[in-house]
Amino acid sequence: MTTLEALGTTLVVGSGVFIVTYYLLINVGYLLIHVLALVQLRDSVRESEWTPSFRAFDSPFYPGVAMVVPAYNEAASIVESVRSMLALNYPDQEIVVVNDGSSDATLERLEEAFGLRPVDAEVPYDVPSEPIRGVYRSATHEDLLVVDKENGGKSDALNAGVWLTDQELFCAVDADTVIDRDALLDVVAPFLEEPSRTVASGGTIRVANECVVQDGQVKEVNLPKTGLAGVQVMEYLRAFYSGRLGLARLKGLILISGAFGVFRTDRVREIGGYRHDTITEDFDVVVRLHEHLSDNDVDYRIEFVPEPVAWTEVPETLRTLGRQRRRWYRGMMETVVASRRMFFRRAYGRVGTVVLPFFTAAEALGPLIEGFGYVLLPLGWYLGILNVEFFLLFLLLTVGAGVFLSWFGVFSEVWSYNRYESPWEVLRLLWYGVLENFGYRQWKTIVAWHGLIEYLRGDQSWGAMERRGFGDAGTDSAEAAGAAGPGVATAAATDSEAGPDDSASETGAAAAAADDGGFVWVDRLVDASDTDGFRWLAGVAADESTGRFVPSGELTAGAGDGGFVWTTDFSEGVGDGGFVWVTDPSLGAGDGGFVIALDDDGSARPAATTDFSEGVGDGGFVWVTDPSLGPADGGFVWTRDPLDGAGDEGFVWVLDGGS
Amino acid sequence: MPLAAPTTATSVYGPLAGPQSGTLSLAVVVLGSLLFAAAVLTLGYSLLAARRRRRRVPMRAALRSELLDRLYGRDDPAWDEWVAGLSAAERDELESLLDVYLRELDGRDADALAGLGRALGVHERARREIANGGYWDRTHALVWLALLRDAPDRDLLRTHCTETPRERAAAARILYAAETDDCATTGVDLLLRDEPESFSVFGVDTLYRVAERDPSPFFERAAADFARWPPALQRQALLVVRHLTTVVGDADLSWVVGSLSSPDPSVRSAAWRALGAYGWNRAVRDTVDLAAIAADPTPPVRASAYRALGTWGDAEAIAAIEAAGTADPDARARVTAAETLVSQRTSAEAVDPNDPPRADLGADRTASANGRSVDETAAFDVAWAWAVEHARFDRLARDISRDRDRLHDEVRG
């Protein structure tokens, strides 16, 4: 054996030992968390079975709750969502819908349905959000407030709602989340039990795919038919019934789902509200609450209540799921890095000394190290140093440990609330716990590495979330963005991603306003470097830069951080739509679009116009959310990944004079 | 997670042997057993739950039908006779139904259902569990007795039910539900004796209910012990005072007024809200320094003061709000002051969004006349316009009179 071979062998063997040790420690940690979760679940079940002999609606002491609902392009479902929330069982409730600069008819639908009229007065508070265009009240529903503001993303919209309510508590909820009728009563239970100490409380998110939803309520709980969604059901159970319960037992809950969580309004205002520069605002806000309250030596508690349930739709394609998980990973990294000063400091209690370090090791670094292991495996085989017997035995153990932890989550559900009533469905859940270890788990390590690269590159996009919609309120729309929560595997896991917003600002080519105007290229919109792209503006003259499209396999080669690719599925892009070629400009958002104009030197450039006869050919590009409006059932969407499109390259915009 | 390499150099070039292989084999066996147990337990629970549901759902429907028939369809429900013929599972399900209906029904219906509880043996069992049961048995038993309006011996409650705030509240609740003569005296004693801690919302509600029956024991206890209570409990006591509607006569309220000087801003805030109900009491009012409101450094305390003064509603109180509220440096406190002042105007016509009140300006409505900056005046104007607008919408949404159409047109423009 040469020196080089010996060195390589030592490196591989050393790495293997490190990975094995790391893996064992993490799994021991997980196992402890799961055991703690079981104890906590037992207590939670007991607690939920004890109902005091008084009537909530007769008591003047229930804290008021504002349901803060950020809404971006939710025209199809917003009215149904608000009606559903107005029907929740709770004695003192307000609904605050924040229209986050939607480019569709979200506000108009609300106006029609609830008799909204503008409040003819200036907002008297300094709200840490994008400018508020108007505040609306309902002529029929005293407890409904609608805030119309410039687009600023989900965090921004939440801040507007938090600042414009007077309620003691607020519940952050996604517009397309279905909430059980009594869920609000249940999720405030920690605030009822210890009113002076509780600052936040989170509920369980479950998967709504294939469930029967009627009148804004889940009437029948079913397991999804596809394996991908089914595996996510199992992941959600493991995350909520094992991970979060265990962390709550440790007094170290660091994540409350953005799709359904209740907070003390004044405490969130004290920390300045939600941060705008994070894509997992729900994770970030809880960690910052821990930090702030510990810094100020406040006796507080942040609780998780397993029974109150909100339902959300999960991605059913690997591409959409990958996008979601990459975003979660980036958000997790952001929050972990932002909270680094809390690590290993006793001043922050178990959150600083145990939870954050373990979470980082398990959820942030774990998948990366696991992925590294998958690379070492063929390398070891190639070098002839792979002990097959050992490998097979250990693979059995590691897969076995993974399956056991997954089954723990399923058992917790069956043992406690048992929403999946059919034993056959439970069997399927157990099967998913096995299945995820073969392929899905390995795929997630690739996603984590991809997410890490995006994080290091400063990617702030939310990506598109493809949804089929619920029952009678189905939306059938591909929505830009939204959502919450880092979540990743076991300990902290998945959240809603349901969500509106963070829309135009991160979707590059998205956000077509309904006003007259044209599509223009805007460089570094609102000081956010990731928002370059075509934007529909009321005045085309707002931008004076000129340039041209050039084909490229590297979409970061041009101005901005992405480009356009051709696809028949608009959810592939990061916006909520794309450009299609039509002959009638009125088919798109706004009154016009882009034609291809030829310059004197023969070069082509897009020109904004409302008259498509001005360009080459008999039509032009308009912004739509339905790709079938174009003659070829497809169009161009904005993306950062050329593989999102039908080919392996796209078009990037190169400024004149630039490279 | 698969491994890329073996754990020791010695195992690199050959199959595992000896202790290492044995350890791994043992681990596989242990893990396999755990997996097997987890699968069996999970599926077993699921099957049992499904079987139970299949049996219980029709059983419950039949029992509900029979229960309602006996409750409303007969002169004599004959609970004992019915219960005697039921199986254990049926009795269990019937208890669950009884719990549901006792929470929904009042009066004679509830009294009749108490008879069913007796037939099921709930009364006796609850007493046994209070005396001998664990925490959860005891707290469930207390709830049962409150639902059945059946107050047990007071010594039983005092001896076994004062360990936690929840037990105290659940015990006092029984006395309130059963409408016993000593509801207020014993109830307050159970809740606040020895070294009480802060309560849950249920506990605060119970304290409020027993104090509503007769406020004297509560006020006497608070006057004696208030200073020793933790701030959270002080806030809750003040919250109860705020909501009490029963006349307290000559009760000692010095502890409420004294709370205005508490170092804890949340206690000061609660004290102001509590005093809102005592604007009629000149003796109390004379001890309150209205001029000090503006000096309180905490905006929510000032806002609570404005609300309290608004509840008093007389000229002196309104003048105090105008003096402090219109120049309040905090936006939320300003809005609260504006809302309070708007609420003093009785009709829509009387409230002009462009004519906010000014403190001590008299005929000369210039900002400088009062030493007040233009910014302060403008800030209150914004708060005033906001409050006026929201008051209009509130009136509209609440109005069920014939004026509603007019209001509706007014708001819709």
Amino acid identity at B172? A
Classify A633 in phi/psi space as left (phi over 0), alpha (psi -120 to 50) or beta.
Answer: left
Same domain, A496 and A618: no
Residues A245 and A205 in one domain: yes
Mutate to test the interface with B, among A9, A54, A234 (most CBs of B within 10 A): A54
Burial class of residue A648, CB neighbours in 10 A (0-12, 13-18, 19+): exposed
Contact B46 A400 (CB under 8 A): no
What ipTM does the predicted assembly reach?
0.88
Restricting to A residues 137-196, those with a Cβ less than 8 Å away from any Cβ of B are: 137-142, 191-196
Range of the domain at A575: 518-655
Tokens of A453: 């690269």
User: Poorest-confidence range of A380-389, A448-457, B45-54, B236-245?
Assistant: A380-389
pLDDT at residue A417, as a whole number: 86
Q: Considering only residues 62 to 91 of chain B, which have any Cβ-Cβ distance to chain A shorter than 8 Å?
A: none
Residues 6+ apart with CB under 8 A from A237: A409, A410, A412, A413, A429
Residue A242, both tokens: 């094992």
Q: Are residues A483 and A585 in the same domain?
A: no
Same-domain status, A488 and A606: no
Token code pair at residue A361: 């090791």
Considering CB atoms only, which of B35, B332, B385 is closest to A400?
A: B35
Task: Give the count of alpha carbons within 13 A of A235, CB side only.
Answer: 26
Among the candidates A442, A474, A503, a domain finishes at A503
Q: Tell me, yes or no, whether A454 and A597 share the same domain.
A: no
- Is position A499 within any domain? yes
Indicate if the pLDDT at residue B4 is higher than 60: no
**B243·A426 Cβ contact <8 A:** no
For residue A84, being part of any structural domain is answered with: no
pLDDT-derived band at B10 (thresholds 50, 70, 90) equals: very low
Dist. CA A555–CA A532, nearest whole Å = 13
Q: In chain B, which residues have their Cβ closer than 8 Å to the Cβ of A52?
A: 143, 169-170, 173, 200, 202
Are the C-beta atoms of A137 and B390 separated by less than 8 Å?
yes
B4:A418 CB<8 A: no
d(CA A512, CA A504) in angstroms, rounded, equals 8
Residues of chain A with pLDDT under 50: 471-544, 658-659
- 3-state SS, chain B, equals CCCCCCCCHHHCCCCCCCHHHHHHHHHHHHHHHHHHHHHHHHHHHHHHHHHHHHHHHHHHHHHHHHHHHHHHCCCCCCHHHHHHCCCHHHHHHHHHHHHHHHHHCCHHHHHHHHHHHHHCCHHHHHHHHHHHCCHHHHHHHHHHHHHHCCCCCHHHHHHHCCCCHHHHHHHHHHHHHCCCCCHHHHHHHHHHCCCCCCCCHHHHHHHHHHHHHCHHHHHHHHHHHHHHCCHHHHHHHHHHHHHCCCCCCCCCCHHHHHHHHCCCHHHHHHHHHHHHHHCCCHHHHCCCCHHHHHHCCCHHHHHHHHHHHHHHCCHHHHHHHHHHHCCCCCHHHHHHHHHHHHHHCCCHHHCCCCCCCCCCCCCCCCHHHHCCCHHHHHHHHHHHHHHHHHHHHHHHHHCCCCCHHHHHHHHHC
Quick check: is A238 in a domain?
yes
Whether residues A589 and A479 fall in one domain: no
Predicted confidence at residue A434, as pLDDT, reads 93
Q: Amino acid letter at B30?
A: V
In this structure, are A219 and A326 located in the same domain?
yes
pLDDT confidence of residue A411: 92
Average pLDDT, chain B: 86
Q: Is residue A98 situated within a structural domain?
A: no
State the pLDDT confidence band at B119, using cuts at 50, 70 and 90. very high
Closest-CA distance of chain B to residue A405, Å: 9
Residues A403 and A531 in one domain: no
- Residue B393: list chain A partners with CB under 8 A: 117, 119, 137-139, 142
What are the residue ranges spanned by the domains of chain B?
A: 296-413
Taking an 8 Å cut-off on Cβ atoms, the answer to whether A385 and B12 are in contact is: yes
Say whether both A226 and A358 belong to one domain: yes
Residues A609 and A464 in one domain: no
Q: Are A215 and A320 contained in the same domain?
A: yes
User: Does A589 map to a domain?
Assistant: yes
Domain count within chain A: 2
* Residue A596 maps to a domain: yes
Mean pLDDT, residues B348-367 taken together: 57
B21 touching A (Cβ < 8 Å): yes
> Do A451 and A566 sit in the same domain of this protein?
no
Q: How many CB atoms lie within 10 A of CB A463?
A: 31
Closest residue in chain B to residue A266, using alpha carbons only:
B300
Residue A203 covered by a domain? yes
All residues at 6 or more sequence positions from A49 whose CB lies less than 8 Å from its CB, including other chains: none
Q: Which of A13, A393, A414 sits opposite B9 (nearest CB)?
A: A13
CA distance A144 to A124: 19
Give the predicted TM-score (pTM) of the model: 0.79
